[in-house]
Structure formats: structure tokens, C-alpha cells
Chain A
Amino acid sequence: MSIIRENADSVDAPALGPLIYRQSVVTRITHWTWAVCLFFLLLSGLQIFNAHPTLYVGNESGFGYDNAVLSMRAVDTPQGPEGRTNILGHEFNTTGVFGLSGPADNLKVRGIPSALTIPSYRDLGTGRVVHFFFAWLLVATLLVWLLASFFNGHLRRDIAPTRKDLQNFPRDVADHARFRFHHGRSYNVLQKLAYCSVFFILFPLIIATGLTMSPGFDAGFPWLLELFGGRQSARTLHFLAMFLLVSFFVIHILMVLLAGPFNELRSMITGWYRASPGTPEIEGDKR
């Protein structure tokens, strides 16, 4: 089965490339732990968001004035209730999805639809229990991965882009645009930059903005409020970081499907990855 799949994309290539041991056990375990964490964090986070589905800029939420950048609400119109989403002053009718959703005969006022929240019904307390558990698990897993990847060379070898990688950048973009993937021994530069952005920008940003929403943590680390421009700005940035992580996830899944889901999944489960034909073999490779 694997041979058929892999050859489908490269009919003119005569032989298979070597089977290389690409993912360490730490990388594989942390990868799947993050997948579970991000699933629960997203759905419980949207539950928490629904308790007050408006995002603001600054320290506080404007009730007597307007400093909102995004809001989801329901309004009564002569035609009946409507869900409205306002983004930076632009109003959209989002009935059925944002602001007002549910079965047609039982529309409910809620920011995000119930299918995208844990629990499905409105329960802020439970959303917080789930969110904080998986937040701790995400952070703990990130620390384990960072330490292990520093010492086993994964960071230096596979994640940090080299000067040569950056020189390859235009060609790599062109290859990706044509869905032409080279399965080498190491990640290509777009992969490296994507993983770097997640590990060194998005994860730190979403963790730090999450902590900035904690009044207890703010007392110990008030500079976080300065850094993000206030607690409500931090909440908005937390939401934005979530959106970027979801975007990463969508692209990640697309790339796995395009690059050969069997081979990609195998490497993230067993560690072994089939490289493209012509990849030079080294000791430890299998055929």
C-alpha cells in the first residue's frame, strides 16, 4: 500500500529513497500531546470567550465608550432576531453562525456556536477547568520538548534555519506553490520557519497573553500588562494567536495530505520516514 501511494507522485523515479529515522520519541510524544492539548484548549477557550464575546484594546472594556475591536451579539430587527459580528467597525450579518445560532426553531444568543465549544452548553466554570488543565499540560510538554531538543540536537539540526536554507527560500516557495515536495533528510526552509513561528512566537505569545489575563499573575509580573498594552489587549492578542495557530493547523494538515499522509503519519508515529529517491544514504538508514 505504501509503495503504491508513494510512487503515485513520482512515476518517473525508478527506486525508493532510503527509510530514515527522522523523529525522536520525545518529538513524537510531544507532537501528539500538543495535538490533544490544542483541541481542548481551542474548544474550551471558545466556551470562555462566549461568556463575553467582545474583544477590546487597552486596560479595560469600554461600556461607557467604545474600544471594542470585535464583538458578536444578537439584535432584534423587524424581520426577527439577527446574529451580528462587528470587526473593527465593520458589521456583518452572521445569523446561524456567530451571535445567534442553533436549530432554526430554537436559535440561541451565543458568540460561537455550541458545536465548537466544550461543553456544548454554556458553562464557563467547566470551560475554565478544561482550559487550565490543558494549558498546564501544553506548557509542561513544551518545556520537555525544548530541553530534549536542545540536548539531542533537534533544534539546531532540524528547526533553526541555516543561511543555506534562507538562500533556498525563493525556490522552496516556488516548489510549494507547485505542490512539488522533496522529502529530504531535514525539513525545508518553509517548514523550519513555520515550526519556528509556532515554537518561538505563537506558543510564547499565547502563553504570556493567557497569563496576563490572570490578576494574580499580573501582581507579580506587572510588566506583562505594559508589554501587551493592557489586560484587554492581551485578551485580544490571545484570541489572535489562537486564530494564527488554527491557521497553522489547517496548513499543516493540508501539507501532510499533499506530501503523502501515510509517510508523514508513519514518521510521526514510528519515527521512520521514506525520503525521496536520490537522497544520499547514511549509516542507520533502512531500505
Chain B
Amino acid sequence: MTQSKILLSRRSLLSAGAAGASSLVLAGCDTFDFLGEGESKTRSVLEKANDLTYRAQRLLIRNGALATEYSETEIRQGQRPNGSTDPQTAEYLALKSNSFADYRLSITGLVERPRSYSLAELRNMPSRTQITRHDCVEGWSCIAKWTGTQLSRVLDEAGVKPNARFVVFHCYDIYDESDPAAYYESCDLIDARHPQTILAYGLNGQSLPVANGAPVRVRIERALGYKQPKYVYTIELADSFSRFGLGKGGYWEDRGYDWYGGI
């Protein structure tokens, strides 16, 4: 092959490559935007992969397998607040003005003995402290020390009925004033009874700050941040989450996130 031929073939190659790359870019432009529509049939097929992930992880990973815990020296910064950081609902503001002295955490739904706890009662129960990594769905992570009451103790005191399948957490915060739906979340009984699942009232050795969910937020250490509701006031045992919010099991799930949230 002569030199000019090589140059020619290189040039045609480059233009062909550029054409190919630009068609790829155009394809990415908005051709697949329909997948963002909740009612898209294709999307509901793709979403089946999330069920598969949930089942596969439950199958592969022991129910009691612990999330990695870190040492004190690995706490190098405060816990980054995200989502709601200062709820403005009247009920919440009233509680906050009184340092949550009137706060009650209710356990309701499919339980033998519905009951409620004051913050002092929760604090007087045996506690668990853990230094764990908070993984946000956005991609960042932050290590912090959480202290709280194991959810399993509270569930045992209330007595979970055999037909209960999910734990639903109701929260005081409204994330978006233009879309006034209260935050809620849910998990299965495996995550609910996991030893590291706590009703956290302490963060890095202090009372849980408002920005991080005061007075009580849930920690489910094997899941992403949106599965760890803040400002929780009611824990409801249910056999399905279809009647809560838009029926997908959580505020962000109702807006397109996967329910499992462990990936």
C-alpha cells in the first residue's frame, strides 16, 4: 500500500468514525426518554431486573449478614444531610419547639399490642451503636456513628402478627412543597429484624440533629440512603404497601426508584 492510500483510508476512516459516533450520540439524545414514563410497558419489563436483584441478594446473602462497621478514626467529617433537612409541618414544628418532649413513636397495624414510645422510653431501652457507611443513591458515601434502639426489640414488644409482611415508616417531612406528599418508606421483615436496623436517636455521640432526622430516623445499613427515613412518627405493620402513597412502597419509589434499594 502506498503512503497516499494509507492517508486516504485514514481520512475516510475518521469521517466514518465521526458519523458513527454522532449517530450514537443522537440515538442517546431523547430516543429512550419514554423509559422515564411510569406507564411505559418497556419500563415495566426492565423493572423486573430489580425484583431479580432483590431475590438474588436475599438468596446469596445471609439474613443476618452485617454491613461493614468502621473504627472511630474513620469518622472524618459530619454526616452530610440530604433530602429534607428542616421540616416545616405544624406538628413537627410544635414538637421541635419543645425539644421533642411530647414526641411519641407509635407501633400500629398488624401487631398484637399496638403501643407508643416517648423519646425517653426509647433511650432507656438497650441500645446499639454502630459506625457505618451511609451510601446515597446519588453515589456518595459518608461514615458516621449511629446510636438507637434495635427495631426488632420494638417489634417483639408489640408482637408482629403472622400475616404482616412489611414495615411501613410514616414521617413528618414533606420533601417538595410543590408536590405535598409526606415522606414514607417500607422494608421487608428481614431488613426490619436485622441486628443493625435501629431507630436512631444519636449521631456521632450527640442527639440526632434536625438536619439528619430528629428525633428518630431509621437506619437500614444494607440499603441506600432513601431507605432510611427521617422524622419517623409511626411504624405500621402491613401485609401490602399498595394503600400507602402511590402504592410503590415509598416516597421515592412512587417517583421511580426501586423498592429494594440494596443496590
Contact = CB atoms under 8 A, between A and B. Distances in A.
Contact size range, B: 35 or more
Nearest to B50: A132
Given A64-B76, A216-B61, A115 B28 contact: yes
Given A48-B139, A49-B139, A219-B222, A117 B28 contact: yes
Given A257-B16, A258-B13, A215 B223 contact: yes
B114 interface: no
Contact of B28 (A43, A62, A121, A257): A43
B138 A120 contact: no
A254 B33 CA distance: 30
A215 B222 contact: yes
Contacts of A133: 45-49
A126 to B, nearest CB: 4
Interface in A3-24: 9
B25 A215 contact: no
Given A213-B135, A231-B141, A219 B67 contact: yes
B77 A231 contact: no
A232 B29 contact: no
Contact residues of A: prevailing secondary structure? helix
A265 B176 CA distance: 52
A146 interface: no
A51 B57 CA distance: 25
A63 interface: yes
Contact of A220 (B47, B61, B139, B257): B61
A73 B6 CA distance: 41
Given A59-B70, A216-B263, A232 B61 contact: no
Contacts of A115: 25-26, 28-29
19 contacts: A49-B139, A52-B136, A52-B138, A54-B140, A59-B70, A59-B133, A60-B140, A63-B140, A115-B26, A123-B36, A124-B137, A129-B258, A133-B45, A135-B49, A136-B52, A213-B139, A215-B135, A217-B263, A219-B66
